[in-house]
Amino acid sequence: MLRVLPQPESSSEPGGIGVSEIELKQQSTSLMKRDSIGFVFPGQGSQYLGMLSAMSGGESIIRDTFAEASEEVALDLWSLAQEGPAESQSLTANTQPLILTASVALYRLWLQRGGQRPHVVAGHSLGEFSALVAAQALAFTDAVKLVRLRGQAMQEAVPVGAGAMAAVLGLDDEIINAVCVEVSVDSATQVLAVNFNSPGQVVIAGHAGAVQAASVALKAAGAKRILPLPVSAPFHTPLMQPAAEILHAALADVTMADAQVPVISNVDARPNTDRGTITQLMVQQVVAPVQWTSCVGTMIEMGCTDFVECGPGTVLAGLLRRIDRSQTCYCIENPEAFSDALNELAEVNQV
């Protein structure tokens, strides 16, 4: 029997599309086996000064991957990763190629060291591009240029200070959605839930005034904490439509391939392999909420029992523990953890 993680109704999350239990079981039977490995790739916010420095010592593939990406975007990404400054590292246009490159470098090292290929992949927001590279649906060089452009377009879509984001902790999704609807009184005062990260952790975004008003209302409704996020753009909202249009135009010049393993989309939490569907979802994702809780739920329903967070930081491992504590997640950003994951997952797959 597959372990089932309850998923939100399609009507309760903006942009969400319900996936029936029968359909998921049919997909899992045809696409995966029990005791499968799922790779998850982090998004913006996972960067830090010195990322992957411990991994680069005797592993030329790490530095080679950074050199390859740096040439594509005319930016020294390794220097930015190691020396910053932090202000430059946190600029969206720099952060996106930086995190993608770090994630792909680790994935390449994993395969080079004989690591088990994943049976399914997913990425949080920006991380979905890393997942597409791992699934061989998108070439790495194309991905680096796309996320550089995506970051620039998202940064410029809304004037600085006009948008905002905030994390809401300890409140049900339904209450958050209802408050956002109540606060969004006109086209100039819009706020909605945009990241369903785990039960009790949701991010809201929109016009700065609307996010502030919603934060006050959500605190009054029982939220444990409201944490303003250090970003100036309201990601994953309709306000990002100009960025979506720029990405759509750029994708016309990119050759996509069918994914070699299922990629769980942030938009609908469904497994996809078709290149046309994936391309459409890449554009929709810019303006649609990230259904991360449902994405992880889909992976579990499809048979995932072990997860690998492939990229800088441990954010996704923390979210997985909140979603389902029975799951194991390996973080591989340092040599010791990398070797442990490699050995333990090799043993699992020999049983």
> Can you tell me which residue has the tokens 């609908």?
268
- What stretches of the chain show up as alpha helix (H) in DSSP? 21-31, 60-73, 77-83, 86-89, 92-112, 127-134, 140-156, 173-183, 208-220, 241-251, 275-287, 292-301, 315-323, 335-348
* Catalytic residue (one of 119, 236, 265, 294): 236
Q: What span, in angstroms and rounded, lies between the C-alpha atoms of 337 and 78?
A: 22
Residue 60 a catalytic site member: no
Continuous segment of H or E residues that includes residue 8: none
Q: What span, in angstroms and rounded, lies between the C-alpha atoms of 323 and 320?
A: 5
Token pair, residue 349, equals: 């797959």
Residue 236 a catalytic site member: yes
* Catalytic residue (one of 46, 103, 125, 198): 125
Closest CA to 143 of 153, 128, 156, 124: 128
For CA atoms 287, 280, 264, 22, the dihedral sign is positive
Please list the active-site residues: 125, 236
